[in-house]
Structure 1
Amino acid sequence: MAQISNISKQLQLKCSGERFYELFKNKMDSITQMFPKKLLSYKIVEGNGFAHGSVVHWKYELRGTLEAKQKLHMDDTNKAITLEFIEGDLFKDFEMVAVKGEVSDGGSNGISSVKWSVEFVKANEGVAPPHNYLQFALESTKGIEAYLCNNN
């Protein structure tokens, strides 16, 4: 069995962790509008909108135009969203890829954060880790955070 690898990074949020997670949970279509040069198009192919268990076909820009289908997993208890890739161009280099965002809403210190992780299994050892997917999540976080801070 192939070994699952993981790359991750945690970012402190300037906005409420709750609001950050709620945007993903209830207004993911807004996120697509925030990044039109990166998220070129989407279509819900299974399920009811951007909801737990739905499958979304994406066309996106990440070192070229790529396409993929992702299954959405939402965990309200842990304020986590997982985008599990189930089909697409990245399967030329990977057997499995999942991008997960886990939001912490401050706790005792009042500082919210999001930890982005990319779990993956390489198709062969010559493949570099998918740092571009982690970088996209980090860059998106900054844009989403700015939107939430400016739109109370």
Structure 2
Amino acid sequence: MVLAGKLSTELGIKTPVDKFFKLFASELHEVQNISERVHGAKLHEGEDWHHNDSVKHWTYVIDGKVHTCHESIEVDEQNKKITFKLFGGDIDEHYKVFNLIIQVIDNGDGTGAAKWTVEYQKINEDIDPPNGWMDLLGKVTREVDAHLVKGTNIAL
């Protein structure tokens, strides 16, 4: 019985890598204003959106259904990698562990990519893998990229 799993996707981005990473690392609250599938985000605990001890509450749509969860964040600036630890709400109904990991990759030729990994541990074998999350992450990535490309003249 396999309860743990990992899903991964890598999506090309047009936005400069530093700018794309900055939005997720220090302007995460803006995602709700950019993505049609993220309906709300608010600071649940803590004083700062981007502090490791802070907890945010999210409302989002997967497979046409509204879901909620809490999230804490760990940022690795050097590797342009962020781990979002999700819990509470709908997450706890299906998973013991649920992490979203984004790594923004500089291809060295002026192009970049957003690599998303979903790491999870299901509460039982009857739970399906979180494939809907891959669709959500792809959609959010495309929306954020398009939004940032429009504003590429804005200083980093």
Instruction: Answer yes or no: same fold by TM over 0.5.
Output: yes
Aligned to 1:49: 48
The one-letter code of the counterpart of 1:98 is N
The one-letter code of the counterpart of 2:76 is D
Alpha carbons 2:96, 2:121 under 8 Å: kept: yes
Aligned to 1:101: 102
Q: Cα RMSD between the aligned structures?
A: 1.6
- CA drift of 1:47 comes to 2.4
Aligned to 1:69: 70
Alpha carbons 2:29, 2:41 under 8 Å: kept: no
Structure 1 gaps of 5+ residues are none
For residues 41 and 12 of structure 1, the distance between their equivalents in structure 2, rounded to whole angstroms, comes to 26
- CA drift of 1:88 comes to 1.7
Identity level (%): 26
| Pair 1:111 & 2:129 matched | no
Structure 2 gaps of 5+ residues are none
Q: TM-score, normalised by structure 2?
A: 0.87
For residues 23 and 41 of structure 2, the distance between their equivalents in structure 1, rounded to whole angstroms, comes to 17
For residues 126 and 115 of structure 1, the distance between their equivalents in structure 2, rounded to whole angstroms, comes to 28
- CA drift of 1:3 comes to 5.2
3-state secondary structure, aligned to 1:136: helix
- CA drift of 1:128 comes to 1.0
Alpha carbons 1:78, 1:102 under 8 Å: kept: yes
Aligned to 2:60: 60
Alpha carbons 2:69, 2:86 under 8 Å: kept: yes
Bigger mean CA deviation after superposition, 57-66 or 16-25: 57-66
Q: TM-score, normalised by structure 1?
A: 0.89
3-state secondary structure, aligned to 2:29: helix
